């Protein structure tokens, strides 16, 4: 595995989209599902686990909404804290899909640091 910084990752994503014709939506979906697969391999059965996904307003936040939505396939104990509104269309789309699948979203601006800390303490 090669570790890259954010600038290199943007370039890799651009090449993937431009030269291979893989859309941003598919890249985001694959990234999110890969995280859930890694969790499965690391922890085994996810059905008895609880999860908190903290999502920013950029595309990494969009990846987080995919992670949260896919986790709902294993457990209802999934919560998302949104640090801001999704900025890109693809992130907004994944936010909406997570909510349509029954996902719960807490806005950080509504709950604050103390509640976020409690939520972090209460998950596996």
Q: What is the pLDDT of residues 27-72, one digit of tens each?
A: 999 999 999 999 999 999 999 999 999 999 999 999 999 999 999 9
Q: Which residue has the tokens 């690391």?
A: 42
β-bridge mates for residue 52, sequence order: 79
> What is the CATH architecture assignment of 6-121?
3-Layer(aba) Sandwich (3.40)
- Higher-confidence residue: 15 or 74? 74
Residues sharing a CB contact under 8 Å with residue 32, sequence separation 6 or more, in sequence order: 63, 64, 65, 66, 67, 69, 70, 94
- Could you tell me which of 109, 111, 59, 67 has the C-alpha nearest to residue 86? 59
* The two structure tokens encoding residue 28: 């985001």
Cα–Cα dist 30/9, whole Å:
15
């Amino acid at each position: 595995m090669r570790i890259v910084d954010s600038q290199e990752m943007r370039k890799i994503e651009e090449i993937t989209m431009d030269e291979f014709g893989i859309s941003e939506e598919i890249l985001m979906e694959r990234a999110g599902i890969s995280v859930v697969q890694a969790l499965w391999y690391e922890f085994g059965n996810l059905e008895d686990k609880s999860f908190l996904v903290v999502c920013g307003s950029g595309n990494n936040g969009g990846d987080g909404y995919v992670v949260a939505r896919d986790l709902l396939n294993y457990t209802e104990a999934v919560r998302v804290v949104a640090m801001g509104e999704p900025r890109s269309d693809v992130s907004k789309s994944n936010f909406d899909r997570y909510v349509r699948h029954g996902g719960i979203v807490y806005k950080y601006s509504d709950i604050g640091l103390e509640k976020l800390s409690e939520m972090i303490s209460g998950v596996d």
